[in-house]
Amino acid sequence: MDALHEIMTVAEAAALWGKSVVTVRQACTGYKKAAPRFRENEARQSGATWLVTRDGMTRVFEPEKNS
């Protein structure tokens, strides 16, 4: 699979894994006293948009729901 299919927005990842956008975004940023769940090389912010890797989503949320 090419690199463009390995990186996706939080909204795209949420749809593919059957999660809410808020759940995936909070896994990127952390919340209250919980640390972010993604590693540094699995998620990053580009402007106002969070990007995540397919490998990161699989590690944090298990295999893709719609695969």
DSSP-assigned states of every residue in 26-39: HHHH-BTTBPPSS-
pLDDT of 63: 83
- Please state whether the predicted TM-score (pTM) of the whole model is above 0.85: yes
pLDDT of 66: 63
User: Which of 21, 19, 26, 23 shows the shortest CA–CA distance to 9?
Assistant: 21
* pLDDT tens for the chain, residues 1 to 67: 688 889 999 999 999 999 999 999 999 999 998 999 999 999 999 999 999 999 999 999 998 776 5
pLDDT of 1: 65
